[in-house]
Structure 1
Amino acid sequence: MFLRELRFLDFPNSNHHPFDIPAFCDTGELNLNQFLTFFVGENGSGKSTLLEAIAIQAGFNPEGGSRSNQFATAATESRLFEYLKLRWLPKVTQGFFFRAESFFNFASYIDDLAKESFAGDPYSAYGGRSLHHQSHGESFLNLFVSRLSSRKPALYMLDEPEAALSPARQLALLRVLHDHQETGHSQFIVSTHSPILLGYPGATLLNFDGGSIEPILYEETNHYIITQQFLNARDIMLRELFHED
């Protein structure tokens, strides 16, 4: 793979976000040398913050998009990227950073590009029409299907893609991931809560909930355990949750 390793540099003496997140303070380096790496953890555990920092350090727009999509609506990114060192072999410049929370802003940026005569057809990579005229799931899958024909090495970072995808479309994304793996030109890092996506065979799962960032088995994740328990004993779990006899 292209992005081989991530190393945390010495943090400043600060108890402010993100330097107070335990997962960062107690982790020296991470091995990312595989096709697909999942960041797993509860809300606030730092997985999306780290994914954003990797994207910025790799030259991508913190609000999402490719390296050439330079737009900004609000400067909300953390300073964590200043304290990361990435090891590449080789370094790649192609790829995409998907953020569900700022995808509306990205879609508006593409519409603005379409109004410029020098921009060509920016919709060609997104199903041929404005992203605002497609569902999130449709435009998201169109994006990665359209990039399958590229022979250039590319790094794709997805922050909670399940926010844009129904369960059926999450399964469709698994197929898209498999097709990318077959080409041998792509690498993915994905932050997710989805037990469907986490089930991709052979993926590396890195858990952010245990103090330091450590590998975890699929069946040991809270996402798998809680979902399985709910599906197998929904009535019992709901009675306990609502404190009903």
Structure 2
Amino acid sequence: MTLFLRGVRLERERIHSTGYPYSLPIFQTLDELTFHHPVTFLVGENGSGKSTLIEGMAVAAGFNPEGGAPSFQFETESTHSSLFEALRPIRGPYRPKDGFFLRAETAYQLSSYVDEMAKSGRDPERFYESYGGRSLHEQSHGEAFLSLMLHRFRGEGLYILDEPEAALSPMRQLTMLARMHELVQSGSQFIIASHSPILMSYPGAMILQVETGLTPTAFDDLEHVKVMRDYLDAPERMQRILFEE
């Protein structure tokens, strides 16, 4: 089992603010987060801090704040928090041969930077082979993300993803699940913030519920899973409750 990032430590002596993001409950109790499995999910309600934590870990690990490979150096607007300044990565004995940080809210800027790199190179067509053979802007959001998974993610890599299911239909989420397994089998590590029960069902994944702390939680015990099952089992009953005046 290859773990390129074995954890992160929150060094409180490097925190010089009581405001966001340190005002979030998760950062009141977090000292150290340790990874034990090649696939880790951070799961929680909107505003719980999971995406902020994912972003902070990615930047602390050396990725560009707006996404991409560690070598990507573009910046359109500084919207990331200062969390990375207080996070110290705990690295494994081996360095990844590949890596990518996907931040959903900056996907457009990432696609534009890929186009810039292609145009500045000697062989744009060959460059685009790693991105599905054409500009990411010429693909739908979901197609573009799958192109990254299928062509740009090469294995033996560290992949940090923030809510990747936002772009994907249920069928495409299954495609992602299969590709994830191929990449894990080739020695990759994934750290993912997600709301998707499909993705969270990955066998052997470590699932951390983000609330006031980080709680390891079994798949069947997740609120996301329970709510989805209850609704799909009896949508009319749930709708009567929801629509009751």
* Common fold: TM-score over 0.5: yes
1:102 aligned residue? 106
Contact persistence 1:2–1:33 (CA under 8 A):
no
Distance in structure 1 (CA, Å) of the matches to 2:154 and 2:103: 23
- The 5 Å alignment of 1:136-147 reads 136-147=141-152
More deviation in 1-10 or 197-206?
1-10
Code of the residue aligned with 1:227 in structure 2: it is M
Tell me the TM-score normalised to structure 2 length: 0.92
Paired residue for 2:127? Answer: 122
Match of 1:236 in 2: 237
2:4 is aligned with what amino acid? F
How well do the aligned residues superpose, as a CA RMSD in angstroms? 1.7
2:42 maps to which residue? 39
| Pick aligned residue for 2:137 from 115, 132, 153 | 132
Distance 1:119 1:30 in 2: 42
1:154-165 map, 5 Å: 154-165=157-168
**Equivalent residue letter for 1:103:** A
Give yes or no for the alignment of 1:200 onto 2:202.
yes
**Superimposed CA distance per residue, residues 24-63 of structure 1 (whole angstroms, 9 cap, x where no aligned partner):** 2112211113210000000110100011011111111111
List alignment gaps of at least 5 residues for structure 1: none
Per-residue Cα deviation, 1:98-128 (whole angstroms, up to 9, x for no partner):
1121111111111122221457543121111
- 1:188 aligns with one of 190, 194, 199: 190
- How many angstroms apart in 2 are the aligned matches of 1:177 and 1:129? 22
SS of 1:72's partner is coil
Which of 72, 81, 93 lines up with 2:84 in the alignment? Answer: 81
Q: For 1:187 and 1:81, locate their aligned partners in 2 and report how far apart those are by CA, in whole Å.
A: 20
Q: Percent identity?
A: 47
| C-alpha displacement of 1:147 | 4.3
Question: In structure 1, the residue corresponding to 2:12 is in which secondary structure?
Answer: coil
- 1:45 counterpart SS class: coil
The one-letter code of the counterpart of 2:53 is: L
| Whole-Å separation in 1 of the counterparts to 2:24 and 2:162 | 18
For residue 142 of structure 1, what is the amino acid of its counterpart? S
Residues of 2 paired with 1:86 and 1:93: CA distance? 17
